[in-house]
Amino acid sequence: MTAIELDGITKQYGSLRAVDTLDLQINEGEVFGFLGPNGAGKSTTINIILDFVKPTAGQARVFGMDCQEEGQRLRQRIGVLPEGYDVYDRLTGRQHLEFAIESKEANDDPQELLERVGVAHAADRKASGYSKGMAQRLILAMALVGDPDLLILDEPTTGLDPNGAREIRQIIREENERGTTVFFSSHILGQVEAVCDRVGILREGRLVADDSIENLRSNMPGGQRLVVEGTGFSESVLDSIRGINGVESVTVETEGTVVAVGLGEDASKTAVLNEIEETGATVEDFETEEASLEDLFAAYTTEEEVRA
């Protein structure tokens, strides 16, 4: 069954189109990473799903129910970690959960939830003394109240150090193993890579990519670099490499002993290596480097030509 289905969602704020005819389907049991630079429209989309914002056009459904018509009923099945949500300094961890349980009319055991997110040891301490990571885990525990079928996490790892971010990802994974669908927004690709089955990249309100990170990488223009170490890289050798089908760039590094070849989708590494040897140069060593996550994110969010 489909957990989230967005059909032509558009949100116009005056002359600004925050979300532009967005179509998206998230299956039940999936961990989906919703990515995009600041201002791309991620929070607006989430707010439409939660019926906090009305779309200008289009339809949003969660578990087959219309978000705008059955928002209240749906929110019972959704756990939300809102962007930039703060803890209440005067309340203890346990009191936070008691408050969330009461608001959602659920009957969870606060202690069990605190244990699930690893802050049970600080249950009776005021949240003012919690570290940023502990506070974020506490907010996540509040999102887990009522055993939601769908977790919507808006930038859950923002402001956390790598350990804190890893712990949050671990909890997300565990919740997913319990059967929860997870919709995880972030503007940092690295934060979602380890945990998401699939990512969607939003840019200026439009979906410019929707795939696994592995596929996005292999489809990215200039996705791989072949770095060849050797001798005899004359201009004519370099020109012959440039002439090979699928080669996008050729640069010489380290005083002429290393050639870096940008490979497009159709390029063959073997063809490049053969060409080098046949034109009289020598290959001593070579390796292929994958595009970094930063390169990948930049390619989808800043290039003029992006792939849908």
Q: Please report whether residue 81 would count as binding ligand ATP according to CB under 6 A.
A: no
Q: How far is the CB of 41 from ligand ATP (least distance, A)?
A: 4
Burial zone of 278 (CB within 10 Å; 0-12 exposed, 13-18 middle, 19+ buried) = exposed
Contact 67, 52 (CB under 8 A): no
For ligand ATP, give the closer residue by CB, 83 or 115.
83
At closest approach, how far in Å is the CB of 139 from ligand ATP? 16
User: Quick check: 301 binds ligand ATP (CB under 6 A)?
Assistant: no
With CB under 6 A as the contact rule, the residue among 13, 121, 162, 174 that binds ligand ATP is 13
What DSSP line would sit under 121-176, residue for residue? Answer: GGTTSBGGG--HHHHHHHHHHHHTTT--SEEEEESTTTT--HHHHHHHHHHHHHHH
Question: What's the rounded Cα separation, in Å, for the pair 114 and 137?
Answer: 9
- Smallest distance from ligand ATP to CB 55, Å: 12
Residue pair 2/28 in contact by the 8 Å Cβ criterion:
yes
Q: How far is the CB of 106 from ligand ATP (least distance, A)?
A: 28
Is 245 an interacting residue with respect to ligand ATP (CB under 6 A)? Answer: no
| The only residue of 44, 92, 240, 301 in contact with ligand ATP, by rule CB under 6 A | 44
Closest CA relative to residue 83, chosen from 15, 152, 137, 25: 152
Does position 232 interact with ligand ATP (CB under 6 A)? The reply is no
* By the rule CB under 6 A, 180 interacts with ligand ATP: no
d(CA 134, CA 136): 5
**Part of the chain binding ligand ATP (CB under 6 A), chosen from 22-30, 34-42, 217-225, 248-256:** 34-42
Compute how many residues bind ligand ATP; rule: CB under 6 A: 13
Residues within the interface to ligand ATP (CB under 6 A): 13, 16, 18, 36, 38-44, 83, 187
